[in-house]
Amino acid sequence: MMDARIGIPLVSVMIVSYNQEGFVREALVSALEQDYENLQVVISDDASKDATQHIILEVAKSYSADRLKVVLNPQNLGITGNCNEALSHCKGELIAFMGGDDVLMPGKIARQVAWFNENPDMVLCGHAVELIDEKGEQISSKYGKLGEFRTGCGAGGIIRAGTPFSAVSVMVKHSRIPSYGFHPAIPMVSDWKLWIDVVGRDGAYGFIDGKWAKYRRHTGNVTVRMNWKIVRDVLLTATLSLLHFNGKFLFDWLLYFSRMLRVKK
Q: What angle do CA 155, 157, 161 make, to 5 degrees?
A: 120
pLDDT in the model for residue 1: 55
Q: How far apart are CA 38 and CA 3, in angstroms?
A: 7
Contact 1, 30 (CB under 8 A): no
pLDDT in the model for residue 4: 39
Q: Return the CATH fold of 11-264.
A: Spore Coat Polysaccharide Biosynthesis Protein SpsA; Chain A (3.90.550)
Q: How far apart are CA 30 and CA 102, in angstroms?
A: 9
CA-atom Rg of the chain in angstroms: 18
pLDDT in the model for residue 60: 98
Question: For every one of its 265 residues, what pLDDT tens digit does the chain have, with 9 covering 90 and above?
Answer: 554 345 799 999 999 999 999 999 999 999 999 999 999 999 999 999 999 999 999 999 999 999 999 999 999 999 999 999 999 999 999 999 999 999 999 999 999 999 999 999 999 999 999 999 888 888 866 554 444 457 899 999 999 988 878 999 999 999 999 999 999 999 999 999 999 999 999 999 999 999 999 999 866 555 556 688 999 999 999 999 999 999 999 999 999 999 888 765 5
Residue 124 per-residue DSSP state? E
pLDDT in the model for residue 223: 55
Contact 166, 144 (CB under 8 A): no
Closest CA to 81 of 18, 132, 35, 31: 18
pLDDT in the model for residue 134: 87
Q: What angle do CA 201, 170, 191 make, to 5 degrees?
A: 65
Look up the pTM and report it: 0.92
Instruction: Return the number of other C-beta atoms located less than 10 Å from residue 227's C-beta.
Output: 11
pLDDT in the model for residue 222: 57
